[in-house]
Amino acid sequence: MYDLIILGAGTAGLTAALYANRAGLKVLIVEKGVYGGQIVNTPLIENYPALKEVSGFDFVQNLYEQAVTKFETPVVMGEITDFSFTGIKKSVTVDQTVYTARSIILATGAEHRKLGCAGEEKFKGKGVSYCATCDGAFFRGRTVAVIGGGNTALQDAKYLANHCQKVYLIHRRDKFRATKVEIDSALKRENIIPIYDTVVEEIMGENMVTSLKLRQIKDQTETILPVNGVFIAIGLNPNNGDFSKEVETDEGGYLIAGEDCKTNLEGVFVAGDTRTKRVRQLVTAAADGAVSAEMAVEYLNC
Ligand code: NAP
């Protein structure tokens, strides 16, 4: 039996492994895809303290070596088909093998919702981004579009307006969902141009994005809007699988825990983007990893 099983090998999960290993716990990591999480796809990270510039790939590689390779931590790759988090002895099943532990950290992350329009997959990383704070600086002086009408879209538009010549803010309705304060401050900016009642039909270009095909939903007219980049900010979907059967979630499906990362279940912690929180960034995922591991150590020592 392990002391701790960490589900998810993104920044939160790997940081949890680093802290748990350094505390001397017997740790197992379970990851369903490739280790590293969302950040692997980010070409350049410029907002992680003390690392002026690092690629997402190098960041993850370093973290993996520091947290996993150095401690020879076992990693099981595969889908979780069953689990039980209640009681003292917790278990997860992967490929018909049952792994047991005294504590669990859920660090399975969240995925950006996809628009599902033509060109979105093709131009990912070539003008299509889901993270303004990660990629906005690459569009300095250019024209971009932000898709969405929530707080993230409005904040992204303001962030991008600091770098870009022009920011189109394209929303499918005639009213933004974001808070009034966000809307007022965004619309005050001269280089943010709202486009209401409009959906993106296609993201177009050759090697890089050059334009969007838009459809006005009231009169069904189609237009081509030249842009250099498009930031899709239509919300997130937490990767919680069936965990909500045992762990409490909010209305958006995020696992409920405060800054101490404790869920409603004894010995079960949640770290990173899949936790209810305000700011989903690399640095807050790492912070959750550290906190959840420390809380697991405290729990195991009681
Ligand atoms: P959100 O509030 O769920 O808003 C998503 C937006 O995208 C909505 O305007 C929605 O349109 C639009 N949308 C959804 N699917 C779409 C589709 N397929 N095509 C076109 N548009 C689509 O997501 P969020 O902005 O990421 O915010 C998530 C949560 O974090 C919210 O609770 C938000 O308040 C919170 N947040 C808080 C802060 C803060 O500083 N307090 C900052 C960022 C986020 P409709 O409006 O028509 O549904």
Per-residue pLDDT of the chain (302 residues; tens, 9 = 90+): 999 999 999 999 999 999 999 999 999 999 998 899 878 867 678 889 999 999 889 999 999 999 999 999 999 999 999 999 999 999 999 999 999 999 999 999 998 899 999 999 999 999 999 989 889 999 999 999 999 999 889 999 999 999 999 999 999 999 999 999 999 999 999 999 999 999 999 999 999 999 999 999 999 999 999 999 999 999 889 999 899 999 999 998 999 999 999 999 999 999 999 999 988 889 999 999 999 999 999 999 98
Cα–ligand 1 centroid distance for 283 (angstroms): 22
> Cα angle vertex 281, ends 294, 264, to 5°?
45
Beta bridge partners of 91: 84, 100
Whether residue 234 has its Cβ less than 6 Å from ligand 1 = yes
For ligand 1, atom 48: residue with the closest CA:
177
Pocket test for ligand 1, best of 172, 195, 236 (most atoms within 8 A of CB): 172
Would the CB of 198 count as within 6 Å of ligand 1? no
Query: How many CA within 13 A on the CB side of residue 231?
Result: 31
pTM: 0.76
Q: Rounded to whole angstroms, how far apart are CA atoms 53 and 83? A: 39
Q: Is 31 helix (H, G, I), strand (E, B) or coil?
A: strand
Residue type at 34 in one-letter notation = V
CA 39 to centroid of ligand 1, rounded, Å: 21
Beta bridge pairs of residue 232: 147
Query: What does the block give as tokens for 257?
Result: 């825990």
Residues 6+ positions from 117 with CB-CB distance below 8 Å: 199, 200, 201, 202, 203
Is residue 157 within 8 Å of 176, Cβ to Cβ?
Answer: no
What span, in angstroms and rounded, lies between the C-alpha atoms of 34 and 10?
9
**Structure tokens of 263?**
């869920």
Beta bridge partners of 83: 92
Q: Return the bridge partners of 225, or none.
A: 212
Phi first, then psi, for residue 232 (nearest 5°) are -95, 120
